[in-house]
Amino acid sequence: MITEIGRFLRKLRIDEGEILLNMAEKLEVTVSFLSAVENGKKRMPSSWNTKICNLYNLSNEQMEEFTKAIAHTEETIEMNLSNSGLKNKELAVSFARKFPDLNDEQTEQIKKILQGGKMKK
């Protein structure tokens, strides 16, 4: 079954006039792997988040669509904290623990902060 991320990748590829082979070469994977990601049989590597934005010079609108597609598709998120300071590690762990209990207003406040805005008091 095709996922939201699969739809996004396929649309991007078609809009760019590329076949699976072209996009696979840019992403340095096999055609079969890219096809499996598009069809929801394989999980999209997290390294593609930045790589696709850079390779295809995504507009703000496309980046928002891409982010939403990832959010709709992913069931788990992995974070590499090896190069993070202690405070950031503590924040990540605290966030993971509290995440299920966040209400809509808190979620929007955090999202705004992450997008460069200021938190409401």
Same domain, 68 and 92: no
Buried-state track 60-98, b at ≥16 Cβ within 10 A, e below 16: eebeebbeebbeebeeeeeeeeeeeeeeeeeeeeeeeee
Q: Give pTM, 2 decimals.
A: 0.69
68 and 86 in one domain?
no
Verify that 54 and 85 share a domain, yes or no.
Answer: no
Question: What is the CATH number for 44?
Answer: 1.10.260.40
**pLDDT tens string for the chain (121 positions)?**
789 999 999 999 999 999 999 999 999 999 999 999 999 899 999 889 899 999 999 999 999 999 999 988 877 777 889 999 999 999 999 998 898 999 999 999 998 898 886 555 5
Domain count, the chain: 2
Instruction: Kindly state whether residues 67 and 23 are assigned to the same domain.
Output: yes
Q: Are residues 67 and 86 in the same domain?
A: no
Domain that holds residue 116: 81-121
